[in-house]
Amino acid sequence: MKNILVIGGAGYIGSHTVKMLAQKGYNPVVFDNLSKGHREAVANYPFELGDLGDKARLAEVFKKHQIDAVMHFAAFIEVGESVKEPSKYYHNNVAKVLNLLDAMVEHGIKYFVFSSTAATFGEPVKEKIDETHPQNPINPYGNTKLMVEKMLADFDTAYGLKATALRYFNASGADDSGDIGESHTPETHLIPIVLQAAAGKRPCIKMFGNDYPTPDGTCIRDYVHVNDLARAHILALEKMFKDNVSERFNLGSGNGFSVAELVKEAKRITGVDFKVEVAPRRAGDPAVLVADSAKAQKVLGWKPEYNLTRIIETAWNWEQHRKF
């Protein structure tokens, strides 16, 4: 049974991956400083409180649990905030990950799955973004993730550390059980905000810009279910264990939906005609981000199982019954 250290495992995507790792016969160990994560999200799994910046603590946990591979979910993720407070992002998303990679090399841990992002690509130069698309981030968040991708390539060459970078498009939805789901404070992501408006927890939603060069003027994104992402992590891990190679994959559904389309679908599913206001554009937002995930399909056999309707339905179920 392989022991997988899941850093940031008490967070949104981390907690769904922890659950799936356990279901698939792995032994996940959660490492989280609980600055954003929720202990309740991983109540049934081994848990180590700690910070990535703390090498001694990492060493202790590596040894105690005889860790075979590490997954990293512990990044700050808000594009708008990264524009206003880049220093915070470079420290957490780059410096601390370097610390982690050094500790892994020191302890001979050879496998790493890294949560990267569509934001590493910047403004698309073609309709769908595949792995050959140029990477020119337009915000500090994207810069931090691209920097780590570059570090990973160098660490493989020099130290043989094998890493798979998974560039998520818009992670969304919740586990079908309704036991875990998205819970950020403050919440900045579109789907939870829309559903909080539907639940009467917010007076309205603000649509950030309706003058983008898209058919209805609102931004287009590729929403991919959190459990589909979790499954991709496990497939990526298995591929590394089997072939001992570093890889990178873009993970999305390949379908783009505008903010206005998503709002319409959420109104249909919830049956609530919540209020929508048009607000100025948010800094750092590209007009369109849609994945071409053919490589993940071909190499990993990965295909998203949830469509936008299921994504919103599972997120709505979570929003109505959430415990944290």
Residues that bind ligand UDP (CB under 6 A): 79, 170, 188-190, 193, 205-208, 219, 221, 259, 282, 285
* CA–CA dist 279, 136 (Å, integer): 27
* Closest CB to ligand UDP: residue number: 219
Among 137, 142, 117, residue whose Cα is nearest residue 248: 117
Q: How far is the CB of 293 from ligand UDP (least distance, A)?
A: 17
Task: Give the closest residue to 318 by CA, choosing from 204, 223, 186, 191.
Answer: 191
Closest CB 181 distance from ligand UDP, rounded Å: 15
CA–CA–CA angle 110, 143, 17 (5° rounding)? 45
Say which DSSP state 8 is in. T
Yes or no: say if 208 and 262 are a contact pair by the CB < 8 Å rule: no
In the complex, minimum distance from the CB of residue 79 to ligand UDP, in angstroms, rounded to a whole number? 5
Q: Which is nearer to ligand UDP, 282 or 322 (CB)?
A: 282
Rounded to a whole number of angstroms, the minimum distance from the CB of residue 301 to ligand UDP is 26
* CA distance linking residue 133 with residue 292, whole number of Å: 10
Which residue in 141, 168, 223, 306 is the catalytic one?
141
- Of 198 and 259, nearer to ligand UDP (C-beta) is 259
Let me know if 141 is a catalytic residue. yes
What b/e readout covers 55-82, taking b as 16+ CB neighbours within 10 angstroms?
A: eebbeebbeebebbbbbbbbbbbbbebb
Q: Which amino acids are annotated catalytic?
A: 141
